[in-house]
Amino acid sequence: MSDNKDHNSDSDSDGAPEEFTQEQAKLEDAALRKIHRENKARVVLEKKESRRRLAEKITPRKSRKIDTFDDIKEEEEEEEHEEDPEALANKGFLSKNIIDFLAEREKQKNVSDSKEEEAKHPRKKKLKSSGIETVIYKEIPPPECLKTGLDFLKNRKAQVPRSSSILTNSSQALRLVTGASSAKKQPRRK
């Protein structure tokens, strides 16, 4: 029987959670957070490596060799030969002097554009007002849009077919129409 009690006290299944002091809990939490951060960093690095390997498979890279002084000298000599205008023209490139000429011309255009922009935008002076001025609406002519709008409405009215009784007695027709619609909505009581 006592053997049974010892067995129960050692097992984790007795239901009591493990107890920590506040300091122990902080240390445990810090350790778990550190492990979590390391795992995230490892996952990110693994993804980067897999992307890099995939990119290497897709695009073969130039073999990396250690440049010696002789190799650098040879490359400089090749570049000097490539600067020959005929060699560049054969490859489809423009010669150096043409590129310089085009760059100069572009700079001149940019300078002249900025001068034009400065000239176009002079500062506007504010008009000093002596106070509130009275505005007489009769003196202000109607805007052009009002005239064109009225012309449109007249043309539209002429184009829409209507009976002659509505056109001659428009106010009476309006009363009949509105009266008929209200009569339908509310039945008459006797």
Among 98, 96, 116, residue whose Cα is nearest residue 108? 116
- Across 153-158, average pLDDT: 80
pTM for this predicted structure: 0.25
Q: Within 10 Å of residue 166's Cβ, how many Cβ atoms?
A: 13
**For residue range 89-145, what is the model confidence (pLDDT) as tens digits?**
566 677 788 888 888 888 887 776 666 666 666 667 766 667 777 878 888 888 888
Structure-model confidence comparison of residues 127 and 12, the more confident one: 127
Mean of pLDDT over the chain = 73
What does the pLDDT look like over 129-143, one tens digit per residue? 677 778 788 888 888
Please, what's the b/e burial string for 83-111 (b: 16 or more CB within 10 A of its CB; e: otherwise)?
eeeeebeeeeeeeeeeeeeeeeeeeeeee
Q: How far apart are CA 84 and CA 38, in angstroms?
A: 56
Amino acid at 65: K
Share of the chain above pLDDT 90, in %: 13
- pLDDT score, position 150: 84
- List the Cα angle 94/99/101 in 5-degree steps: 130
Rounded to 5 degrees, what angle do the CA atoms 11, 14, 17 make?
100
Q: Please check whether residue 87 is in contact with residue 79, taking contact to mean a CB–CB distance below 8 angstroms.
A: no
Taking the C-alpha atoms of residue 120 and residue 114, their distance in angstroms, rounded to an integer, is 10
Which region among 32-36, 42-46, 124-128 has the lowest average model confidence (pLDDT)?
124-128
pLDDT of residue 179: 61
Query: Identity (one letter) of the amino acid at 116?
Result: E
More confidently predicted of 45 and 128: 45
End-to-end CA distance of the chain: 101
Whole-angstrom Cα distance, residue 83 to residue 98? 13
In this predicted model, which residue has the larger pLDDT, 41 or 67?
41
Q: Is 183 helix (H, G, I), strand (E, B) or coil?
A: helix
In angstroms, the CA 151 to CA 170 distance is 20
Structure tokens at 136: 């007489």
Average of per-residue pLDDT across 44-51? 94
Domain limits, the chain: 20-60, 69-115
Alpha carbon distance 97, 103 (integer Å): 10
